[in-house]
Amino acid sequence: MGNAVIPERPDLSHGPSDTSHGFPRRDAQRIHDLDEPPHDARHDKDLANPTSGHRRPQQYGALPFLIQRDGTWLYRGSPIRRKPLVCLFASVLRRDDAGVYWLETPAERGSIEVEDVPFVAVELDWRGSGRDQVLAFRTNVDQIVCAGAEHPLLVDWRRPTCADMGGAPPYLHVRGEGRQGIQARVSRAVYYELAALAVKGHSQGQDCLGVWSQNVFFPIGPLPPDEE
């Protein structure tokens, strides 16, 4: 398979010009309530920069958002189809020590439901070879993450095979520390590309197949019986 061409990550520093600022009202009934033009561009900038400001965010409890396993964002059961809006919400997604996911701006904070992990790695680009190889993943919200020591590729490669991939699905660490870490699940197509790049290696006292990225070896599966 050839190398994928990964576009540059869009600039979200000011957010889309035609999206709402903050979270939807508690009594919002329709998805287009999220799409009203902002009244204050400075507030929209704060949305994309949740560390700015000093006010304590107002708690809204559980918000009617669900991120499905395939990365689709739902609001009150309806898909959010406008990708710039999904990317904007993804930029203020946080996770606490209890593993609960939150949408948080300087003004508002509410928990949301996530079926598996929030993001999906949908495209792979690779450069170099051997230990110097670099694996660059694009997520469904157009964030580029290069696997390495700070962004490990995690897979329970000794787990029995699963129906959708033929093996335990890999996850890529995107951001956050410890239990606050946020991950992307590697899609099936990208998993097959990783498998094509896999080489023999050694992990946890066992021979295995894995991939190199930024001088780190990541096991992704056991050796086939005829290669053991």
Residues 146 and 207 in one domain: yes
**From edge to edge, which strands make up the β-sheet containing 182-186?**
144-146, 134-139, 119-127, 182-186, 171-175, 153-154
**Structural domain count of the chain:** 2
Has residue 3 been placed in a domain? no
Q: Which two tokens stand for residue 108?
A: 């508002």
Rounded to a whole number, what is the distance in angstroms from the first to the last CA of the chain? 26
The pLDDT of 29-55, averaged and rounded, is 44
Greatest mean pLDDT among 67-71, 153-157, 206-210 lies in: 67-71
Check whether residue 143 and residue 209 sit in a common domain: yes
Look up the pTM and report it.
Answer: 0.73
Q: Are both 93 and 131 inside the same structural domain?
A: no
d(CA 203, CA 71): 30
Indicate if 76 and 133 belong to the same structural domain. Answer: no
Question: What single-letter amino acid sits at 83?
Answer: K
Q: Let me know whether 67 and 155 are in one domain.
A: no
DSSP 8-state code for residue 36: S
From residue 148, give the alpha-carbon distance in Å to each of 87, 139, 167, 200, 202: 24, 16, 22, 18, 17
Check whether 37 has a pLDDT greater than 70: no
pLDDT of residue 111: 96
Kindly state the average pLDDT of the residues 56-75.
92
Confidence of residue 158 (pLDDT cuts 50, 70, 90): low
Task: Assign 145 a pLDDT band (cuts: 50, 70, 90).
Answer: very high
What CATH number should be reported for the domain holding residue 81? Answer: 3.10.540.10
Boundary of a domain, candidates 49, 79, 114: 114
Instruction: Indicate if 127 and 109 belong to the same structural domain.
Output: no
For residue 137, the enclosing domain spans 119-220
The pLDDT confidence band at residue 28, using thresholds 50, 70 and 90, is: very low
Least-confidence region, from 89-98, 129-138, 199-208: 199-208
- Domain check: are 101 and 137 in the same one? no
127 and 216 in a single domain? The answer is yes
Flag whether 64 is in a domain.
Answer: yes
On whether residue 95 sits in a domain, the answer given is yes
Q: Is residue 225 part of a domain?
A: no
